[in-house]
Structure 1
Amino acid sequence: MALALLLAVLAPAGAAHAAPGDDQWGFRGLVRDGERKPVTGAAVAVESDGEVVGTDVTDARGRWEILGLAGPGTYTVVVKTGGKTYEVEKELVRSGTTLPVQNLVMSTSDAPAVQASLGDKLAQRAVSGLNLGLLIAIAAIGLSLVFGTSRFTNFAHGENVTFGGIMGYVFASLAHLPLLLAAAAATVAGAAFGYLQDLGFWRPLRRKGVSLVTLMIASIGAALALRSLFQFLYGNGTRSLTREDWGTVRLGPVVMPATSYVAMGISVAVLVAVGVWLKRGRIGKATRAVANNPALAGASGIDVDRVTRIVWVLSGGLAALSGVLLGVFNQVSYDMGFNLLLLMFAAVILGGLGTAFGTLAGAIVVGLCTEILVLWIPADMKYVGGLAVLVAVLLVRPQGLFGRQARIG
């Protein structure tokens, strides 16, 4: 039943399977002068190993776009205007948290240096890391709550993130809904998907008394099946979730798309709401009680099955929202959730298994380390930094930052 509904919901996305130009590599950007006004008619070129691989001219809004590059690699973006040349070196990498098409904002002002200072780079990376950490936190909190109430590690949680991203693409790009409305619709669809998973698969297995190891292995199988299904319906390419252009915002040395700041605001609001619900809400308190001691919670009159079902709904909705926001920050692909799964596990383990608030702290740490360390290590190795911090913390606190020590034996 759940699989049939999933096929019906995702079928429209299959129509975009061969959409032209959606999975290209390249750059697009904006050229401004010292007064932050658009520069019109500037010649823009992208070079690789000294050879020009693409050219464009800025329009009336100072915007340009060069797509169709060969793929990952180091490129030089050269802007020529007013008899002067400005250039910047950029790297395109294939990873779960970087864009195949990068957005650049270049200034023709002589006041700032062409090469940003270490402090400016650090600020830029810190904000990007905070954004990534908040996105990880939204998805990882659902993973942590499922572990706390169901007592097993759900390896299919990354596919819930992918489901949200694809549904966001369906609602925003195919149904042409405004981005915020598409995000809300995808979140509701993700919550329904979480409910159907528990109703049709996990709840029957729990009632049969299946062991936790078996449940974990079953989740790996479910992840493989869902990922193959997404690949079949959506295709191998990466696609932009929406064509809406909200422009860029500069806060001191930090320049980011306005959508990234909106995503951060939504993430903070949602995380605060979940925290208040866990601390103040009746079901939230029951969820914490079940996570601490299911047997005692059931003996106290709490409907453990109902609480677990609500947690699956909440987990699916949060994962879907994270997928939409990640699709705005990055692009949508059939394996985007799988690429993020390792960072989600790192956040949950770093914060402490089963602790929602610890997961938030762990996600922020992982996000910051992942982005900031790119200043010193290659971009395609940036996950190493976050995982190295995880190992270092666990050597000192095996229970995580906010986990409780447990006696074994």
Structure 2
Amino acid sequence: MRHQRLFVPVLALFLVTAPAVTASAQGEAVLGAPGFGARALQALVDGIQFGAIIAITAVGLSLIFGTIHLINFAHGELVTIGATFAFFLNVSPAGPGWHLIPAAIAAVAFGALLGGAIDRGLWRPLRARGTGMINLFIATIGLSLLLRHVVLVLYGARPGSYAQYDIQSAIDLGPVGITPRDLTVTLLSVLVLLGIAALLQRTRIGTAIRAVSVNRDLAEASGIDVQRVVLVVWMLGGALAALGGVFFGLVEIVTWDMGFKLLLLMFAGIILGGLGSAYGAMAGSLVIGIVAQMSTLWFPVDLQYAWALLALIVVLLIRPQGILGRRERVG
């Protein structure tokens, strides 16, 4: 449980410093609004969509923690870079004006390359020098501030939106209304999460990732190239963060600090699901997204993340290792 005890104070620190996030609520009450049951179904659909986006971004962060036990505070900036890189290719007058789909694919590739470059250029040399985990954690905060302000200089403080799929009419699916854009994002998010699960369970590199997460020394003694596995995890984490940033910017808005705002919910999903578990990050993130949206049925929208974090605290009181986490001996 030593990693759990390290991670929770970090989340508490973040709670004090992080700004609030405002997510869209399609089932907002208006005159002539549907009954409670219909609004509850709408909130559930919105929560699944939001939770799936959080899960995509949180899986990479969880895998990084599982393989090298690094709390990467700069992971949120990879989300922002993915969203703003796609925005540059899609909208910016200085960009090529690509359609959003190839722009998103290019952003995912750029996120993978950036994640690999950060590992090879920064974290691997620091690990080779025997740098302590606390020092590495402080370095991630510095990297986060650096990348965030580089994005601010290059992108600017003005919020933006992608050129395609901006304004759409909702499709009525019984009591639930959802735009084709949001439906596509939700389905693609679920497919990506299923693809990650298949990668981890049915491929050699996935087996190697799970082995390194369970016992790094034993995996290395078994002939697994641990450095290669760590590089793959960083590239996978960067690609998923960029994809999640594009999805989040598509259903919300693109801003220079959007990843930093989403980072709190990534941490919450990872802790709720179980530290170091990719499947736990998926499950925990879905719970966070659903609770956040469902809470708007009774409480103001501004408090939705407070109730999601309250659910995190309640679950940890009952099951300290998280939903899918493993118990560890202490002492």
TM-score normalised over the length of structure 2: 0.89
Find 2:120's aligned residue among 199, 203, 217.
Answer: 199
Partner residue, 1:11:
none
In 2, distance between residues paired with 1:392 and 1:132?
21
Check the 8 A contact 1:173/1:243 in 2, yes or no.
no
Superposed CA offset, 1:80-126 (max 9, x none): xxxxxxxxxxxxxx953435xx989999xxxxx81321111111111
Q: State whether structure 2 residue 191 is matched by structure 1 residue 269.
A: yes
- What SS class does the counterpart of residue 41 from structure 2 fall into? helix
Q: What does 1:8-407 align with in structure 2 at a 5 Å threshold?
A: 96-98=21-23, 114-174=32-92, 175-244=96-165, 245=167, 247-407=169-329
Residues 263 and 331 of structure 1, relative CA distance in 2, 3 Å threshold? same
Instruction: Report the structure, 1 or 2, having the larger strand content.
Output: 1
Displacement of 1:225 in angstroms is: 1.1
In 1, distance between residues paired with 2:101 and 2:169?
16
Matched to 1:170, the amino acid is F
Residues 188 and 282 of structure 1, relative CA distance in 2, 3 Å threshold? same
Check the 8 A contact 2:51/2:290 in 1, yes or no.
yes
Check the 8 A contact 1:168/1:324 in 2, yes or no.
yes
Partner residue, 2:14:
none
Residues 368 and 104 of structure 1, relative CA distance in 2, 3 Å threshold? closer
In 1, distance between residues paired with 2:257 and 2:29?
32
Structure number with greater CO (CA < 8 Å, separation at least 6) is 2
Check the 8 A contact 1:135/1:325 in 2, yes or no.
yes
In 1, distance between residues paired with 2:68 and 2:204?
19
Superposed CA offset, 1:188-225 (max 9, x none): 11111111111111111111111111111110111111
Structure 2: segments with no counterpart, 5+ residues: 1-18
- What SS class does the counterpart of residue 255 from structure 1 fall into? strand
Instruction: Report the structure, 1 or 2, having the larger helix content.
Output: 2
Superposed CA offset, 1:258-291 (max 9, x none): 1111111111111111100100100000000000
In 1, distance between residues paired with 2:283 and 2:26?
29
Residues 259 and 135 of structure 1, relative CA distance in 2, 3 Å threshold? same
Superposed CA offset, 1:233-275 (max 9, x none): 1111211123435543221122222111111111111111110
In 2, distance between residues paired with 1:103 and 1:371?
10
Partner residue, 1:89:
none
Matched to 2:265, the amino acid is L
TM-score normalised over the length of structure 1: 0.73
RMSD over aligned Cα, in angstroms?
Answer: 1.9
Residues 354 and 240 of structure 1, relative CA distance in 2, 3 Å threshold? same
In 2, distance between residues paired with 1:105 and 1:375?
9
Residues 401 and 216 of structure 1, relative CA distance in 2, 3 Å threshold? same
Name which of structure 1's ranges 336-345 and 237-246 shifts more when overlaid on structure 2.
Answer: 237-246
In 1, distance between residues paired with 2:137 and 2:269?
19
Check the 8 A contact 1:348/1:363 in 2, yes or no.
yes
What is the count of residue pairs matched by the alignment? 309
Matched to 1:408, the amino acid is V
In 2, distance between residues paired with 1:349 and 1:183?
29
In 1, distance between residues paired with 2:265 and 2:162?
22
Residues 407 and 255 of structure 1, relative CA distance in 2, 3 Å threshold? same
